[in-house]
Structures are given as C-alpha cells and as structure tokens.
C-alpha cells in the first residue's frame, strides 16, 4: 500500500497511526499539497492529503473513508465496534476531532498570510470552534462515551488533533480545565505508533 501525504498533516498522521497499529506495511509517498507542482491531484482531485493507494490499484480519500476502508480489511486490533450504531457514534467523535484539525489548519493558514491581510474575526471564529469542540470531547470522556484508555478511530483522531495543536501552537492553553483529554492524549502519545509519527521539528 502507498500512503500519500505530508509529515506535518494531522489527517495523514491519523492514517499512519492506524496502519502502524494494524501492522500493515506501507510506503510513504511524501507530497506536500501546498507546494508548487505537487502531485496530489493524481490521487485526489481535491488536492488534499491523505490518499491511500492499495496494492490492487484502488485509491481512497479522505481520511475518514481511508480509516473505514482499513477497518473493513478486518485486521486486528479492531478500531470500531462491530455494532453498526455504536460504530457510527465512534465515527461521529472522529468527525468532531477532524473538525478540530480543520479549524486548527484554517488558523495556521490565516496566520501564514501577510499580517495586514489576516482577519482577527476569522481567527477568533476558528478558535471558538476548537474550544467548543474540545469542551464537547472533554464531556464525552467524562461521561464515558469516549474512553480515554481505548484505542479507537476516535481516540486516535483526538490525539492527532491535539498533537497538531501542540505542534502549531494553536490554542496553547487547551489542557487547562480539560483533565480527561490530558489523560487521553497521555495514553495515546505513549504508544509507539505516535512516537513514530511525530511531526518534524520545523
């Protein structure tokens, strides 16, 4: 299998972690969608990473679809419950974590614009999405609907989202008053799959 992506993308990290956890061998094709003349569109017309190319030549995107595809291969450990309704709930939490990544990425892109073109209102809007979603996730861990010590597509996505907040220094105070999420990321960050997919220092 080939995973097309960049080393800094949290969405790509999510898929790398899943592949590593399941012990699936893959080749990493390093493509940055923000660089000129990138080759991402040959895998995904949206020009976004990750994309996954199977040994049979099928191409899958975006990250929730790739995660669902990998789950269908039925390789342990299972990262979704067998029950369809319970699986959908886990996938909704994955969507929430993915949304945190989207908002963090939008903030980073906004801050990369020349200072005079940056919109404070837009940065605030994205910051609110991040804070509200983290509060919701904290609540889900507190009420047991998201288990901090379980390895699922949702906990992996949450840890990748928070890893990206740390990496880009977006919402640096995210851990204040969110002890459940701190516990969750401590559990996940201690895994080899997370150590091996840490974004590069620059």
Ligand X SMILES: N[C@@H](CCC(=O)N[C@@H](CS)C(=O)NCC(=O)O)C(=O)O
List of residues contacting ligand X (CB under 6 A)? 9, 11, 33, 47-50, 62-64, 98, 105
CB of 44 to ligand X, least distance (A): 8
Q: Which C-beta is closer to ligand X: that of 32 or that of 180?
A: 32
Size of the chain in residues: 202
Q: Which C-beta is closer to ligand X: that of 54 or that of 180?
A: 54
Is residue 162 within 8 A of residue 181, CB to CB? The reply is yes
Say how far apart CA 73 and CA 26 lie, in whole Å.
14
Q: Partners of 30 in the beta sheet?
A: 5
Q: Which of 107, 118, 64, 54 is nearest to 88 (CA)?
A: 64
Q: Enter the tokens of residue 97.
A: 């974590």
CB of 54 to ligand X, least distance (A): 17
Q: Which C-beta is closer to ligand X: that of 69 or that of 182?
A: 69
CB of 184 to ligand X, least distance (A): 20
CB of 111 to ligand X, least distance (A): 15
Say how far apart CA 81 and CA 165 lie, in whole Å.
28
Q: Which C-beta is closer to ligand X: that of 9 or that of 16?
A: 9
């Amino acid at each position: 299998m080939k995973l097309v992506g960049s080393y800094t993308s949290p969405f790509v990290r999510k898929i790398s972690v899943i592949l590593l956890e399941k012990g699936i061998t893959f080749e990493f094709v390093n493509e940055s969608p923000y660089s000129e003349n990138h080759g991402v569109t040959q895998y995904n017309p949206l020009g976004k990473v990750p994309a996954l190319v199977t040994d049979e030549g099928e191409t899958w995107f975006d990250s929730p679809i790739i995660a669902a595809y990998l789950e269908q291969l039925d390789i342990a450990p299972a990262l979704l419950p067998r029950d369809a309704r319970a699986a959908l709930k886990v996938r909704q939490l994955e969507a929430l974590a993915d949304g945190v990544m989207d908002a963090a990425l939008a903030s980073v892109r906004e801050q990369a614009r020349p200072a005079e073109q940056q919109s404070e209102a837009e940065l605030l809007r994205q910051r609110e999405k991040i804070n509200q979603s983290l509060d919701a996730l904290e609540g889900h861990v507190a009420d047991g609907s998201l288990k901090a010590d379980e390895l699922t597509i949702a906990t992996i996505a949450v840890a990748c989202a928070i890893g990206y907040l740390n990496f880009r220094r977006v919402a640096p105070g995210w851990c204040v008053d969110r002890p459940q999420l701190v516990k969750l990321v401590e559990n996940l960050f201690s895994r080899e799959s997370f150590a091996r997919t840490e974004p590069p220092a620059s």
